[in-house]
Structure formats: C-alpha cells, structure tokens
Structure 1
Amino acid sequence: MMKTDLLCQVANTLYLNHYQVESIGLQDGRMGITWFMYQYARKSGWKQYEELGDYLLEQILNNTHTKISPDFSNGIAGVCWCIRHLIDNSFIEADDDVFENYNTIIYNRTLNDCIQELDTTHNPVYTNGLYALYTHTKEEEEFTQISYLEKILKLTEKRTLPIGFLNSILYVYLASTFNEQKNSQSEFEQLFYLHTTKALQANFYTKSDRSILKLLVEKANFQQSMNWNNLLPNEIITPIVANWQILIYAPILNSNKLSCNEQAVEQYIKEKLINLTPDDLSLNGLTGWALQQIV
C-alpha cells in the first residue's frame, strides 16, 4: 500500500471516529486531532477537514475552564500552544487576548508545581518551559534560562526522571534565546548527564524517547568530558508508535520524523484501523503518525 493511500485511510478514520475522543488535550485528546484536520485540509484541499477542525476547535474552546489541568501534555498549556501554532501558521485567526487568562493560570505555578507534575501526569513534560518558549512574554526568561532548569534537575536528583521529561528540559535549554551564550562552567550538562544515565539504567523510556534524546544531545554539542557516545551508541531504532514530542521539537531538530521500519508501520496501522480504540486516535497513535507525514 502506498503511503499516500495509507494517510488517506487514516484521515478518513479520524474524521469518522473523532467523537470517540472525549478529552480536549493535545496528546490524548481532541486538540491533536484538530491540528491534524487543519494540516490535512491544507495538504489535500478538501474543505470538509477544515470544517471539522473549526467544529472541534469551537468545542475545545467552550470546554477550556479553570478546572482543567494546566499541564502541557493534556491540559491548558498544550491546548494553548497548539492554538498559537495554528495562528502562527495561518490556519486560524485570533487575538492574543484569548490566551490572557490561561497565561495567568500557567505562570502562577511554582517550581514545586512543575516537579509535582511528574506524579500527576501521564507522559509528563516541562510544561512552563515549553509554553514560555512560544508566548514571548517576560516569563520566557524566567522559565527557560539555564539556572531555572538546573534547579529542577537539582531538586529531583534523588528521583529517576523519565527520558520523555528530560527530553523536554533539554529542548527548552536548546530553544531558549536566553541560553544562546552557554556557560561552559554551567552545571547543566553534568546534572543532565547524571539524570539521563540513571533513567537509561532504569529503562525509564520508550524507543521513541531514546531516539529523540539522541537527536537532542547531538544538537546540544556537549563537551566531550561526558561520555555521551557510550551512553547513546549509534544503533538502528525503529519505533512503530508515534511520539508526539517529535512534532513539538521539530524547530530545533529540523525534523518531525523518527526513523522507522515502513513495512512494520504499515502493518501496525492496518491492524489499528481494524481494531480501533480511542487511544489509537491520539498524537501517540494514528494522529501523530499522520501529522508526521505532512507537517
């Protein structure tokens, strides 16, 4: 089956089954599907996908209230990030006023709130940092500078952090305009290396997480004093399940895809199209794979 045919099948499946997804979040909810609908409408020229995107976005905005978690993965921060992405790429039009109340909710979170997210969120990431990168407010410097990232790593030194969370920390380190002049005496690399070593030894990652980590470390161009080559040797990793974070980190990685076994992916998707569950419609499932083909 040609990839374009498979993409069309996935698009139709998402179009017909979006109602199965009840949450509004980015990773597991309707926001990810909405993102795909706008992207696919532009690629295919089929208006019905854009119309569904408009409908889903309206439903999401009607349900974004203060009782929803502020986290990035499936809460307010991820929804607002995606809406801003749609605005910046001319899919929709909206004023910055739409974000004002949500900015307050997210930026009122303390350092401990960011860390507690590790215990309360599925697939946690560094919410405040990822969100601050795209809001262009005064909070961007506070939440993305090296000293703040180091505080997070120090306060969690007795814990084993998932690689997915560490990836988000490293991405913020790389993407922040306030970290352009990297301090060679900074503790960041050493702290990050120690956390990464512990997480890899504990197998606290997916294959996709490890693939993204290697790409980010290569971009970081860390000093050779840390033995990154032994920690992350060259290997062929062929994850089948999509990793939604690769879509978020594309500006730094200059890529929105992970290497994969195309035949295995095709077979996997065929099986999912037959035995579909709501989880399969997420950014870590069919929606994520489909977006990676067209973003």
Structure 2
Amino acid sequence: MMENIILKRIANCLVLNVQQASITGLLEGNIGMALYIYHYAKTNNLQSYFDIADSIVDYTIEHYLKNVNRVFSSGLYGIGWAIWYMKQKGFVEISDDAFDDFETIVKQSYSSIEIEQDLKTAFPVFSKGLYCVQSGKPENLEYALNAIDEIMEYGDKMSLTSCYLNSILYVLRRIEEADCENEHLQSNKAFWYSFIKENPSIYANEDCNFYIAQQMAPSLFPQTGLSDWFNVLECGYMNWQSVLYREYINLPDLDLSGQEIMSIDEVINNASINRLSLNGITSLGLNLINRE
C-alpha cells in the first residue's frame, strides 16, 4: 500500500515537472522521465499518462534528433536507446524508419574525438555500444565490436574510467548472450579482461563501480557482498546504473516504512529538475515498479 502511494507521488511529480526539463536526454532529461510515466500508465491503465509520455517522445523525435550531441546521457545514443526500449516494451508503435538517423551514425567510426566526448560527460559510458546492444540488431552488434576495436587503439586507455569500462563489459556480455561463438567478441573480451587485470588501480576506492564490474564479469573478479554504498537514497535505488544494468545487479530489499517513506517524500518534494531524472527519482520509481 505504501509503495503504491510512493509510485503515485513520483508519477505526479514527473508529470507536473517534465515539461520544464531543458535537456531531452536519457540520464539527465525528459526522455528518461517518460520511461517511468509509461510504466506507471501501463500498470494503472491511465490513458492520460500514456498521452503525456507520447507527447514527450513525439516532440523529441520531431525537434531534437538532428540537433543534439551523441553522448548517452544527454544526446542521440541515449535517446535512441530509450526509443528502442519503449518499442520493445510495447509503449510506442514506431516504424523502423524512425531510427534512420541513429543507424546512419552507428555505421560511422567511433573516433577518438567521440571517445573523449563520452569520457568528459558526468556519466562516462560507451554510448555507441549501449545503443547497439539495446537495438538487438545483429549488424549493430558487429558495429559495437568494431567500435570496441577502436577503443582498443585509443592512445590514452589509462584515462578510461571504471564507469566507462563497466559499460564495455556490459556490452560484451550482452553480445555474448546473443552470439557466444563470435570470434570477434572473444578477442575483444580477452583484451579487456587482460587490461583490467593488469590495471587494478582503475577500480581502487570505487565500491559502486567495482560491485557492478563484479556482476558484469564474475569470472574476472572475486565475488563479495553488497557494500554500504548501496543504500536507497544515495546510490542504489536512485542511480541510473541500477536501471541500465538491472538484469545483472542484485538490488537489496527495500523496506518502505517509517523513516524511509519520509526520506523519499522529502526528496520528491524538494527535487530539482536534474534530481527528477533517470539518475534520481525516475530510477527509484522504475526500480520499485519493476520489482515483483
């Protein structure tokens, strides 16, 4: 009962504020918020909420696809990931032609400039690879592997962060599940496993990202339990990674009672637009609404 109240409060808060978001991206903007609005609308059979989410997606496709950067958090690849997700969940009916802009870019090389753009964002991830595996198209999986080849040739691999490496591990795992006999995949996997083993300092003092890496590549890391970082309001349930990597991360049980409810209420009532994004309230809502 209390969980339903929280879900409703999150939905209402997003509906009231989503149009104020000046960023259209997945992790920082309104397209990420639309994911939760769709889920809540489907769970509660609320056509008006479907209509609101539809308007966000339609506006994004019409006005922004040709004018945004490519990075996953705020740009083209994250928007593409979200639209594929929505299509696969049955939230939107959209033709393959709508992905033409994405597919044209996917075929291009993943240059050092693009790698550096990914690394300079607040959420440094392998943008192109994340889009490719979400699309599920066999040719895009190969484009992702080609992009990983280009990362392997990147001159300053020691600048790759633990967060970025985790996204590579995730992409490799998704491709392996789709095509485990792929020799190109196996050579890429061997390279990155060796690189991480030779540079353990990348994950030093990184409890959150180290735990995620353990789940992405269990044969590479010794397994340990959840650390103190995985609390509800600071990192665990309100972090974009808990949504993106959900199938591999074991979230702890969330006891919505007493002080926890008050804390969540306070965050909802005082959240900035950025804090309402997929790296905040939206991720909490998605984690709650998707758990069985």
Structure 1 length as normaliser, TM-score?
A: 0.82
**Residues 208 and 243, structure 1, Cα contact 8 Å, conserved in 2:** no
1:5 paired with 2:9, answer no
Whole-Å separation in 2 of the counterparts to 1:41 and 1:4: 13
Distance in structure 1 (CA, Å) of the matches to 2:216 and 2:260: 24
> What secondary structure sits across from 1:187 in the alignment?
helix
Question: Could you list the runs of 5+ residues in structure 1 that have no partner in the other structure?
Answer: 223-227
Q: 1: distance between equivalents of 2:196 and 2:149?
A: 8
* Distance of 2:263 and 2:18 partners within structure 1: 20
What amino acid is the match of 2:283? G
User: How far 1:125 sits from its partner (Å)?
Assistant: 0.9
Runs of 4+ more than 6 Å apart = none
Structure 2 equivalent of residue 259 of structure 1: 252
How many Å apart are 1:18 and its aligned residue? 1.4
> Counterparts of 2:188 and 2:34 in 1: how far apart (Å)?
42
For structure 1, which segment, 172-181 or 261-270, has the greater mean C-alpha deviation from structure 2 after superposition?
Answer: 261-270
Letter in 2 for 1:132: C
User: What is the identity, as a one-letter code, of the residue corresponding to 2:141?
Assistant: E
What is the match of residue 149 of structure 1?
148
Give the letter for the 2:272 counterpart. T
Q: Conserved in 2, the CA contact under 8 Å of 1:27 and 1:284? A: yes
User: What TM-score results when the alignment is normalised by the length of structure 2?
Assistant: 0.83
1:193 maps to: 197
Q: What corresponds to 2:105 in structure 1? A: 105
Q: CA deviation at 1:119?
A: 4.0
- Sequence identity (%): 25
**Runs of 5+ unmatched residues, structure 2:** none
Task: Give the total of aligned pairs.
Answer: 277
The one of 272, 281, 288 aligned to 2:276: 281
Decide whether the 8 Å contact of 1:80 with 1:99 is kept in 2. Answer: yes
Q: Of 210, 225, 237, which aligns to 1:234?
A: 225
Shift in alpha-carbon separation, 1:66–1:89, aligned structure 2, 3 A:
same
Which residues of 2 match residues 1-295 of structure 1 at below 5 A? 2-135=2-135, 136=137, 138-144=139-145, 149=148, 151-153=150-152, 155=154, 158-176=157-175, 177-180=178-181, 182=186, 186-195=190-199, 197-201=200-204, 203=205, 205=206, 207-218=207-218, 221-222=219-220, 228-229=221-222, 233-237=224-228, 238-239=230-231, 240=233, 241=235, 242-251=238-247, 253=248, 258-259=251-252, 262=255, 266-295=261-290
CA distance in 1, matches of 2:202, 2:72: 21
Give the CA RMSD over aligned residues.
Answer: 2.7
The one-letter code sitting in structure 2 at the alignment partner of 1:11 is: A
Give the 3 Å change call, closer, same or farther, for CA 158–120 of structure 1 in structure 2: closer
Instruction: State how far apart, in whole Å, the 1-side matches of 2:225 and 2:5 are.
Output: 33
